[in-house]
Amino acid sequence: MMKFSTIEDLQSLIDNEIEESTVLEYKGSFGIDKENKKWKIELAKDVSAMANANGGTIIYGIRQKEGGNVHAIPSELLPIPFTEMSKDKLSQLLSSNIQPIIDNVEITVIPKDKESGFFIVNIPQSNTAHQNRLNHLYYKRRNATAEVMEDYEIRDVMNRTKYPVIELEFELHKTIKTVIEKPSILSVYQGNSEEKQYEKTSYKLKCQLVNKGRMYAKYINYFIHIPLQLNSRKEPFDIDDSGDYYNLFGDNTVRDIIGTNGYNSEYGPKRYDPLLPGISMPAREIELNYENIKTTEKLPAIWYSISADNAPERIITVEWDKIKTFVHTKTEIKDPNKF
């Protein structure tokens, strides 16, 4: 968990443009409105969402840059007047508006002067689900936002000390490759010295097993269900009963290199590689036929089923707008005159 003790520590976040994440959030103020309790709902939501996810740190007194970025970037320090908030008052607000009370929350105040300062709230990951008492909802932090939890997520949090909690995390990677084809010597002699240039675009879905619970998982099996129109036919696939998805199987097995045969490696038999709490496995890449998809609005969501040891099977739907997209650019030069 992040620790901050000086104003210089906070300023370094701004200087280095450290983005918000699942474990870090910036708040310019507490948004106190004596006529409306909405600010108390937001306070309880943000803190309980951290506890229900992976734990983390909320810093009150840092303004975010304006704009449409998915992850907010800090822009300036905004010390909060002590007439608005104190350490004791903040502790009482959290205790009275979140149930059950979150144990071991650390509140640190970094003073700017006698009148104002910054409030650092360090929140541990909890073993149970915490509810916002003011609106009776459960929240969980995803990426850089706090969202209402699904039923299965609430049960997962409450089972953190009983079963492994294994999830798949997805990323969509778009690669735009500029291909430059040089003319051959023969073409030049024949009067054609023009080079050709064109673009190739490819899409890959990266998925990664992550242990978000507190129990290690020895055996993991999962099926990913991907809309059939995205099948690249470069992956072995099995169409499900609906005819709308193709299914890919995965597990947590690995094969160790036990020797070499010339230029080729020799592998031993498959074995299950236990997944420890807080650890993720190397990402799996799935090539997609994404080129003709203009928008994901009408594209069916991905869903997957996953089993781990003695934990109940979980079925989870992942909407496309929740998958972060990365764009890469490359250049490839094809020169037939070079060998």
Query: What does 179-241 look like in DSSP terms, one character per residue?
Result: EEEPPPHHHHHTT--PPEEEEEEEEEEEEEEEE-SSS-BS-EEEEEEEEGGGB-SSS--EE-T
Reported as a pLDDT band with limits 50, 70 and 90, residue 145 is confident
CA distance 224 to 208: 12
Q: What is the pLDDT of residue 235?
A: 59
Q: Which amino acid is at 303?
A: W
Q: What's the whole-number mean pLDDT along residues 276-301?
A: 84
Q: What's the whole-number mean pLDDT along residues 16-36?
A: 89
- Distance from chain centroid for Cα 72: 14
* Residue pointed to by tokens 């459960």: 138
pTM check: above 0.85: no
Q: What is the pLDDT of residue 205?
A: 93
Cα dihedral 112, 113, 114, 116 sign: negative
Q: What is the pLDDT of residue 236?
A: 59
DSSP designation for 46? H
CA distance 165 to 128: 13
Task: Please check the confidence at residue 296 and state whether its pLDDT lies above 80.
Answer: no
**Tens digit of each residue's pLDDT (9 = 90 or more) over 50-102:** 999 989 999 999 998 876 554 588 999 999 999 999 999 999 999 999 999 99
Q: Could you give all domains of the chain from N- to C-terminal order, each with its CATH number? A: 7-158 (3.30.950.30), 166-334 (2.60.40)
